[in-house]
Structure 1
Amino acid sequence: MKVITLGPEGTFSHEMATLIGADEIVLVPTIGRVFAEVVRTGTPGLVPLENSEAGGVTSTLDCLMQFPVMITLESYLPIHHCLAGTKGQISRIYAHPQSHEQCSRVIEDLNVPVIHTESNAASAIAQKDDLGSAAIISERLAARHKIPLIRTNIENNACNITRFVQILPGDSESSRAQHTRSENTGGSPEKCSMIIDPDENRAGLLYDLLTPFKRDGVNLTRIESRPSKRSMGTYVFFLDIQCDGRWCEAAAELQQLAPVKLLGCYRRWHQTSEGV
């Protein structure tokens, strides 16, 4: 299976793509490029959606709003970071914004400037060219680039996990085939994701939007707001629901209350799965 994901080699995205069984991995420099290439080529993409410590990955959330894609699978990866670099006095740290947030306590204790990068792999590359600096990266990346380890397991939470999702063009034959294959081999979907984009702002609006799920016995596993980018004070809501209770009826009723972009209903990849 061919997959497009965030590179260069050694990123957690690259590791996740390897774990789910991709035999051809196309690495691109930004999450936005992953989405663009998925839409252009029809090839599946793999992107980080949220982290248990730092929350939603904003670039992924914004791209889900922007691009015509759907989610066809989710997977989870335990995340461990290390501080790697020149031993001795550290004058600055290279880190991806998500890695920065996941390791904020150690960074605050070091009290040195942080330079944000586009990926953990980019942090490793930048550190190699900057004597006296350090990078927050994985042990795998440190070994790949021969960067000495200063401290390991520096994440704020020992149970640090990132959730990844596989995406395909929303109107493609391949995305429909993915759903058919899931239904034929794995049964009904486990989770549905959607974006609610209210066209009004009034007291009780969010309560009204969520009422169908309460009434029909549907568990909301995640809700997150992002700016609509239309004007100050207007927001869209990202929703994940479990496919239990009368979830189909609740989702249909929601679409009568506000504009909804259905991102897909899908299953979770497990280590024992044969491919995806």
Structure 2
Amino acid sequence: MNLITLGPEGTFSHELALKIAGKTKETILLVPTIHGIMSAVARGGGDGIVPMENSEAGSVGETLDGLTRFPLSITAEMYMPIHHNLASADPLSKIRVIYAHPQTNEQCSECIEKWGIPVIHTSSNAISAIEAKKTPHAGAILSETAASIYGMPVIVRNTQNNAENITRFVRISTEPVRDSNPEKCSILIDPRTDRAGLLHDLLHAFAERKINLTRIESRPSKRGIGNYVFFLDYAWSEETADALDELRKITTIKELGCYSRVEVAP
């Protein structure tokens, strides 16, 4: 099977996919955007690996939007420590511009602000390296693996704001995983209305059954200002089906899958 993830070579997604494929013997396909990954998975091209959220910068909007748009299921989650580095052929004092992915920029905002160097956003850490190599007096913030792949010397290590910086990735497929005892479930709620007590009613179905909500986030519905959908993650329990039945009476639900955590070697 193909394992589709964010390229070019040297992204954190690619690094994680290499670790997974080393065990599963899957063939890795690299795609330049998260939207492209999800589109390819939806067409039956294989399973995908995409970033879901980061402990410093929060959720990845493109992933959430893709889960809204495409008929896909989450089949597993993985957690990966993220360490960023500034790489350049020049010393820090001579760098005039830094290339960085928007999430990388957020995760390294304290160093970037201290340096006072302008940042140009890219679609991936690997593209940051490619652009920096062809630009005079430029640097890129990326992983040590990417720096090695693209032949860029690391001049400042561990530029992330938080030493415990972690990204949560999910595996996506056209079919849900068949797991009789999953650890977590994810759903998308689209109320299509706005009224007092709406959020209370949505959460009540879980609270009265003592189901632990591990994450809740609103996201624009794309139907105009003030219209939102809600992403919920919760710990799976025997009461899950009853909670969803109650919610379906008052709102529209898209089940994104019930799944377990996959441990990945450092």
- For normalisation by structure 1, the TM-score amounts to 0.91
Which sections of structure 2, spanning at least 5 residues, go unmatched?
A: none
* Selected match of 1:225 from 218, 223, 229: 218
Q: Distance in 2 between the 1:220 and 1:202 partners?
A: 22
Alignment of 1:135-146 (within 5 A): 135-146=140-151
Number of equivalences = 260
Q: Distance in 1 between the 2:156 and 2:192 partners?
A: 49
CA deviations over 1:98-118 (Å, ceiling 9, x no partner): 000000001111112110000
8 Å CA contact 1:127–1:134 kept in 2: the answer is yes
CA deviations over 1:215-252 (Å, ceiling 9, x no partner): 00100000111100001111001100100362221122
8 Å CA contact 1:93–1:133 kept in 2: the answer is yes
Q: Distance in 2 between the 1:138 and 1:117 partners?
A: 15
- State the SS of the aligned residue for 1:203: coil
Alignment of 1:119-138 (within 5 A): 119-138=124-143
Q: Distance in 1 between the 2:259 and 2:236 partners?
A: 9
* Selected match of 1:55 from 50, 58, 79: 58
Q: Quote how far apart the aligned CAs of 1:42 are.
A: 4.3
Greater mean alpha carbon deviation, residues 244-253 or residues 233-242 = 244-253
- The amino acid of 1:240's aligned partner reads D
Partner residue in 2 for 1:255: 248
Partner residue in 2 for 1:82: 85
- The amino acid of 1:261's aligned partner reads K
CA RMSD of the aligned region, Å?
A: 1.3
Q: Distance in 2 between the 1:161 and 1:195 partners?
A: 24
Q: Quote how far apart the aligned CAs of 1:199 are.
A: 1.6
8 Å CA contact 1:95–1:135 kept in 2: the answer is yes
* Selected match of 2:68 from 59, 65, 69: 65
- State the SS of the aligned residue for 2:187: strand
Which sections of structure 1, spanning at least 5 residues, go unmatched?
A: 170-174
Q: Distance in 2 between the 1:62 and 1:2 partners?
A: 23
Alignment of 1:1-276 (within 5 A): 1-21=1-21, 22-23=24-25, 24-85=27-88, 86-87=90-91, 88-169=93-174, 175-176=175-176, 179-180=177-178, 183=179, 187-244=180-237, 246-271=239-264
8 Å CA contact 2:79–2:264 kept in 1: the answer is no
CA deviations over 1:30-52 (Å, ceiling 9, x no partner): 00100111111241011001001
Q: Distance in 1 between the 2:19 and 2:228 partners?
A: 35
- The amino acid of 1:119's aligned partner reads S
8 Å CA contact 1:89–1:132 kept in 2: the answer is yes
Q: Quote how far apart the aligned CAs of 1:254 are.
A: 1.4
8 Å CA contact 2:185–2:258 kept in 1: the answer is yes
Partner residue in 2 for 1:172: none
- State the SS of the aligned residue for 2:43: helix
4+ aligned runs moved over 6 Å, structure 1: none
8 Å CA contact 1:217–1:245 kept in 2: the answer is no
CA deviations over 1:166-199 (Å, ceiling 9, x no partner): 1112xxxxx25xx23xx3xxx5111110111112
Greater mean alpha carbon deviation, residues 35-44 or residues 209-218 = 35-44
8 Å CA contact 1:217–1:244 kept in 2: the answer is no
Q: Distance in 1 between the 2:50 and 2:204 partners?
A: 31
Q: Distance in 2 between the 1:99 and 1:271 partners?
A: 22
- State the SS of the aligned residue for 1:41: coil
Greater mean alpha carbon deviation, residues 65-74 or residues 83-92 = 83-92
Q: Distance in 2 between the 1:261 and 1:52 partners?
A: 25
CA deviations over 1:67-89 (Å, ceiling 9, x no partner): 11111111111100001112132
